[in-house]
Amino acid sequence: MIVLPAQDGLQTILIVDDTPENLTVLGELLQPTYRVQAAVSGQRALQIAAAEPRPDLILLDVMMPEMDGYVVLEKLREDARTRDIPVIFVTAMNTTEDERIGLHRGAVDYIAKPIRPAIVLARVHTQLELKQARDLLRSQNVVLEAEIERRLNENLLIQEVSIHALAHLAEIRDLETGNHLRRTQKYVWTLARKLQSHPRFADVLSDRDVELLARSAPLHDIGKVGIPDYILLKPGKLTAEEWEIMKTHSRLGYEAIEQAERDADKQVEFLALAKEITRWHHEKWDGSGYPDGLAGDAIPVSARLMALADVFDALTCRRVYKPPMPFAQASAIIVADRGRQFDPDVVDAFLSIFDQFQAIAEHYRDSGESAG
């Protein structure tokens, strides 16, 4: 390699030619204005181009032994570190067809030998200006993308906080539900992830669907804000009349979210799932649930997952009307209702990740409660 003195702060040009005399001519022409690097082989050119500081432009001879200019350019484009460096072919191959081939291979320009200094300087200047413009645009895009990402994350956080605030309006009236929202949200997310590979669920449980489902889950009991305290907080068994009032919470929640949808300026994606979960998470696989008596696949997948998550949490946590139940006993009850209250495949998925359910329950256990 021929090393020419570096001039800090200047744009860097790498010149590649197997003839040292050609390097000297180009180097002397460019040196007053640019920092110049030089290589006498394609292999060495690739090494220099990938090192710091990377060239802003490469003047590349085509006819070189071992590795010609076409191969060098191809390898430059294959390397993420060098693929954006513009390359000008400088060669004695000066026919129109040679120029067409060079440009087709990816060169940004083509200079025929013997070189004419004014032409070389003009074309080098043009390509460096274009590169500066591209680099500036790329930098601006990176900044813009980062700002968009920041604002998106901020909006998602605001949305999540708002969802939990709304959900807590219902939960705060029942002091014994504690971390119910967090646990059921994690249960639903874990079940959905497990079922993504199941043929019955793959089409409706994409990664995006799973995230929206988990985001919607805390709203499942929002309708309880409409249930009187004497029913919601009653420590004993509800009367038949009280139970009918309690069951209206699923419809009340659905209607509240539907009204929010109508009030929104545009469609809010996760609210569609929130409505499903809120209205139908008390439906049963055999059709004996409420409020609409849906059965089997007529029950939305989101509501089927929420149904199991909600029941598992209710069984394993303390309520005003009962003590917490051991995990194994709760699991046995869910298995017994496989095909009656719960989708059989959802129960099977639950059993295969039962240890994860236990871990979630332990991690978000309410203060004062013992392990199940």
pLDDT in tens, 13-49: 999 999 889 999 999 999 888 999 999 999 999 999 9
Three-state SS at 106: coil
Tokens of 271: 């609210």
Q: Report in angstroms the alpha-carbon separations of 180 from 189, 360, 364, 365.
A: 14, 11, 8, 9
pLDDT in tens, 70-123: 999 999 999 999 999 999 998 887 777 777 887 888 888 888 888 899 988 999
What average pLDDT is seen over the chain? 86
| DSSP string over 12-35 | EEEEE-S-HHHHHHHHHHHTTTSE
Residue pair 77/55 in contact by the 8 Å Cβ criterion:
no
Is residue 183 predicted with pLDDT exceeding 90? yes
CATH number of 12-142: 3.40.50.2300
> Can 12-142 and 174-363 be said to share one CATH topology?
no
The pTM is what? 0.59
Kindly report the backbone phi and psi dihedral angles of residue 207, in degrees, each rounded to the nearest multiple of 5, phi listed first: -55, -40
CATH number of 174-363, picked from 1.10.3210.10, 3.90.1150.10, 3.90.79.10, 3.10.20.30 = 1.10.3210.10
Percent above pLDDT 90 for the chain: 51
Q: Where are the domains of the chain?
A: 12-142, 174-363
